A and B are shown apart, each in its own frame.
Chain A
Amino acid sequence: MTVRRRVATLVVLLLVLAPELAHACPGCIDLKTKNRVAFFVTTIVLSLLPLGMVGGMAVWLRRRARALGAGIGDRGPGTQTPDP
């Protein structure tokens, strides 16, 4: 058995046998339904809120651009001038 193969075998054995249950997730260490629901809901809210705000803003700006006939997307980035 070559050294490389021995090392590989050792790594595989460590990966398979060494890990134990990691209590990193607060939802997994407390099995009360109320707590799990709280963690789940807050995770969803904190994940979706920024996406919703930025996405909502993008949609609103696009609609406004269309309404004003500015057509930002049609003119391309080269026509933008910086603010004075």
Chain B
Amino acid sequence: MDAALDVAIATGPRPEPAPIRKLLPDAVMGMVLFVFTEAMLFAGLVSAHTIVRALASEWPPAGQPRLPFRATMVNTAALLASGAILAVAQRTYRRRPSDAVGPMLLSLVFGAFFVLFQGREWAALLAEGLTLTSSPYASFFYVIVGMHALHAVAALGALGWAWLRLRAGRLSPAQLGAVALLWYFVVLVWPVLYARVYL
């Protein structure tokens, strides 16, 4: 009798598992973890810069070109505007995805302006004699700002990919969320780097 009951239990319909409502899409969660590690990378670089700057008797060192902090302020505003426009695009996407194509393109244009302007600034500084090996001041500038530029280029690529998918009507909310998170990180970490390196 007991054996028959066991068989009936074993072969009977299995209870449906309770549906799991995810708090965050996997793509966004993965990007959150990536952003955490990148935040620590920049924190380490800024810490090293802070200590070397404190140990130096003169900062910036004499005879070294000064960083163009006023011109970069304009560039910073462009990057912040790019982030704000992307937030608008995300909001628009929730209402009607096709309407987000324009704002997202505008965000891309502002971001590309930032990267191109930074490249132009680097070229000018190199021409003035500020190279990677000319002083710790220059080394930190190129390593920290270069690392940020690398992230900005990668995030711009991701943003461009997302824009193409959006235009084709194939961009999922999770994909947009993950790409936007990376871009917000690039946007928000810049004012900290600007304040530490340029000012």
Contacts and interface: CB of A to CB of B under 8 A. Distances in A.
**Chain A bound to chain B:** yes
Contact of A70 (B23, B50, B51): B23
Contacts of B18: 75, 79
For the residues of A in contact with B, the DSSP-based class is helix
A61 B24 contact: yes
Contact of A80 (B20, B36, B40): B20
Contacts of B132: none
Interface residues of B, number: 19
Interface stretch (A7-15, A16-24, A48-56): A48-56
A61 B55 CA distance: 41
A35 B54 contact: yes
Contacts, number: 53
B47 interface: yes
A34 B21 CA distance: 51
B39 interface: yes
Contact of B23 (A38, A39, A64): A64
A49 B39 contact: yes
B36 A53 contact: yes
A38 B51 contact: yes
A45 B54 contact: no
A70 B24 contact: no
B184 to A, nearest CB: 14
B74 interface: no
A81 B20 contact: yes
